[in-house]
Structure 1
Amino acid sequence: MALRQKAAAFAASVTLTLMLTVVPAKAQLSDGVVRIGILNDQSGPYQDLAGPGSVVAAQLAAEDFGGKVAGGKIEIVSADHQNKPDVGAAIARRWFDEQAVDAIADVPTSSVAIAVQGVAREKHRIFLISGGSVTDLSGKYCSPYGIQTADDTYAYTSGTARAVVQNGGKTWFLLVADYAAGHAVEAQARAAIEKAGGQVVGSVRHPQGTADFAAYLLQAEASGAQVIGLGNYGNDTINSIKQSIEFGLTAKGRKLVSFGMFISDVHALGLKNAAGLQFAEGFYWNQNDATRAFAKRFEARTGKMPTRQQATTYATVVHYLKSIAATGTDAAEPVMARMRGTTMAYFGQDGRFRPDGRLVRDDYLWEVKTPAESTAPWDYYKLVRVIPASEAWLPIEESACPLLTKP
């Protein structure tokens, strides 16, 4: 039997097993409250792309249900994991053991997300991975209690790399962050570039929170590469782009490509510095009526437009709450079976879950507008192409998720 058929058969058996779990005859919540923990960077380099904004996004999701589901109150709690796996794991354990948190959502910084995935698996609690981006979260670290809805490293690396190579960017230098997501971007970008007919002529890793990129940019310039691919996030992305421009690399014809751009980064850079940058991401506030409706609510609360991570946290929490409403319980097994077994509404798309927990839907390649092209505040992106779901995500045949190997 082919791997795809085995995966489908196993998914069906897992779903049946979870659905056969005893569910109370009456709607029942474990303590009368559905408690969701938003765990992210609240004070460091990623606070703008997730941070307090993701908490607001989850609160907006709860408000969609009137603050109640299955007869119980919805409560949103939050904490700062400080981008440290041990801190994140400790918070997750305390939430599950002492504070009756039913599910954790968001969790940028993939090393922290991997640690939280382990705790959630051990405790049989739900992990809504709307922030952690390393593909391994639905690969070798997959869990029957986790779903990954965040744009992952494969999606925002491979599509972008292929398009740039096809448009003439043949030689690359990769500048990536020295942690799990950065390592994944480096490997996946290299594979995509070479498969498309390009060449990686050099690469270097930098620590999280780097202030001075001079030494790394000198290496990139000396390589002679046409394209400098940036596999970093938040303030690191902003600083590396600003310093590349200050060093004159773009004036000398080098093209900058980001594998982790957020609208908060474009806003911080300004269109003068960011114009022409291309990147893949699944959400843009001005994309359609559904994105604009959510963005209007979010802006009214925060004064900003939502990033894709904040929007994904909203959509994922809504899907979780819908599943509780449908099953009448907050027990992890029936709720997870419902979430995986139904499509998830994602701002005009209906995404589906694979047996490894990965949400699949179309993705998009964007380019940042020039100042002359922008006609309103936050009018930053123009669409280059739709990346169909069949191309956007790691093929399931290549997934290392242990769940797929079971009979």
Structure 2
Amino acid sequence: MRSELFKKIGFVLVLATGLALASGPVMGAEPIKIGIVSPVSGNFADHGMLERIGMEMALEDYNNEILGRPITLIVADDETNPDVAARRARRLIEVDGVKFLMGGVSTSTGLSVGAVAEEKKVLFICTNQNGDQITGESARHHVFRVPPDMAMLVRSGAKEAADTLGKKWFFLTHDYSWGHSGTMWARKTLNKVGAAEMGEIKVPLNTRDFSSQLLQVRNSGADLLVITVAGFDNVSLMKQMAEMKIYDKMKVWYTLMDLVDLWAIDPAERQAYFCAEMYYMETPETQKFTERFAKKFPRAAVPVLDTGTYNGWLSMKILLEAIKKAGTADSVEKVICAMEGLEVKDNMRKFPSKVRAWDHQVTTEVVFLKANPLAKGTNIADIKKEVSGEEFARTKEENLDKDNKPVNVSCQK
């Protein structure tokens, strides 16, 4: 229903979190417009909805205002299409007068919106894109990324996977930039963890039938299937792995999976190991946030705090803290410089979230989990390990730009 509404009004909607909720001293003040470029339809529609919920909840924490000014969100459906995302970002800037953008799930759309942001000199925060390019070879002065890149995620879990799951790895890869990043980093860890590659299959976006690929996997001789696939494609994949008894032949490890995918399948089909950006049972704070989330959005795609919701919340919090630190929302450059080096300790996690100045990557906690097919209720995975992403993040020496030089997009460049 909500997707249809977006289609009818041209994919742009002012959410009821701005002027309508302003009160007291902010009444009459000029609103700060934030453009949300996020999937409302397509393979990542559920993920997009969850990140927007997180943004709304962050605004509630700030009483929907900063520096005495109300905040208005304007949402545009990126359709998980880079060209569409860029076109709608451009409209938000040129027609709606937006100076701040955030959102998105696909790395490809993040790269295209980032190019527009750099051209138009507006600030863009990638909220759920994990491909390395965003803060690597395609890093930009006007672009920040809140979730961990695939280097942090894969390197945090590779040794655990090799030591406890298997050393003969077969890769199943979503055939676009994010999927390529996950498999690339897993390959780079092979020698270090004593594992060997048994093959790879790349699958395009919007694949729903994995039967032929899983036949190849089953006959590959691998003892660990390493997957970088997400969204509705992944929901279909997990169902078919259970049907074809892949788990009887080998272990399965996802380089990254969001809880919303796992929640969408039957309990008996939840058997994989996976890296995640967060899990709602981590701390009393994340559990309390989940209670608030469930009361406010009882019909959400997943009934607990998910990665998408958390990253949407943290992205908005980082932006608002940077605006507050800069003392203005009128100068994008001042907000960028204020965001660099920002550290968020009240992030509900064991480790703080830190905004690196030189590549605009946020480092935060990452988690290694095992899905539990016997679980009752909402706690459907067991935490095996929690680490600081900072420990596994790319160094300046290994994070190179297109000229093969260390990335440096900071204000102090």
TM (norm. structure 1) is 0.86
Farther off after superposition, 390-399 or 279-288: 390-399
What corresponds to 2:335 in structure 1?
335
What corresponds to 1:290 in structure 2?
285
What corresponds to 1:20 in structure 2?
none
Aligned partner letter, 2:370: E
Shift of 1:243: 0.9
Q: Deviations over 1:110-156 (max 9, x none)?
A: 11100011111111111111111101111011111121111322222
1:75 aligned to 2:72?
yes
| Cα contact 2:139–2:407 (8 A) shared by 1 | no
What corresponds to 1:265 in structure 2?
261
Cα distance change, pair 269–343 in 1 and its aligned pair in 2 (3 A): same
What corresponds to 1:367 in structure 2?
370
| Cα contact 2:152–2:389 (8 A) shared by 1 | no
Root-mean-square deviation (CA), in Å?
2.0
Separation in 1, partners of 2:65, 2:317: 12
Aligned partner letter, 1:309: G
Aligned partner letter, 2:389: A
Separation in 2, partners of 1:158, 1:240: 24
What corresponds to 2:239 in structure 1?
242
| Cα contact 1:162–1:193 (8 A) shared by 2 | no
| Cα contact 2:146–2:361 (8 A) shared by 1 | yes
Percent identical across equivalent pairs?
23
Separation in 2, partners of 1:83, 1:362: 26
1:203 aligned to 2:192?
no
What corresponds to 1:9 in structure 2?
none
Aligned mate of 1:86, from 77, 83, 86 = 83
Farther off after superposition, 323-332 or 172-181: 323-332
Separation in 1, partners of 2:342, 2:152: 22
| Runs (5+) with no aligned partner, structure 1 | 1-30
1:132-281 residue pairs with structure 2 within 5 A?
132-251=129-248, 253-275=249-271, 277-281=272-276
Separation in 1, partners of 2:219, 2:406: 45
| Cα contact 2:206–2:233 (8 A) shared by 1 | yes
Aligned mate of 1:35, from 18, 33, 36 = 33
- Partner SS, residue 399 of structure 1: coil
Aligned partner letter, 1:120: A
| Runs (5+) with no aligned partner, structure 2 | 1-28
What corresponds to 2:387 in structure 1?
387
What corresponds to 2:296 in structure 1?
301
Q: Deviations over 1:29-82 (max 9, x none)?
A: xx922111222221222122x222222211111121211211211011212111
Aligned partner letter, 2:35: G
- Partner SS, residue 269 of structure 1: coil
Q: Deviations over 1:340-372 (max 9, x none)?
A: 13202422332222211111133221112241x
What corresponds to 1:347 in structure 2?
348
What corresponds to 2:63 in structure 1?
66
Separation in 1, partners of 2:176, 2:117: 22
Shift of 1:403: 6.8
| Cα contact 2:48–2:105 (8 A) shared by 1 | no
Separation in 1, partners of 2:250, 2:343: 42
1:91-106 residue pairs with structure 2 within 5 A?
91-106=88-103
- Partner SS, residue 295 of structure 1: helix
- Partner SS, residue 59 of structure 1: helix
Aligned partner letter, 2:353: G
Shift of 1:92: 0.7
Aligned length: 372
Shift of 1:395: 2.6
Separation in 2, partners of 1:272, 1:75: 43
Aligned partner letter, 2:371: V
Cα distance change, pair 91–340 in 1 and its aligned pair in 2 (3 A): same
Shift of 1:217: 1.0
Greater RCO (CA < 8 Å, at least 6 residues apart): 1
Shift of 1:384: 0.8
| Cα contact 1:362–1:392 (8 A) shared by 2 | no
Aligned partner letter, 1:271: P
Separation in 1, partners of 2:406, 2:156: 26
Separation in 2, partners of 1:236, 1:52: 17
1:108 aligned to 2:111?
no
Separation in 2, partners of 1:114, 1:295: 31
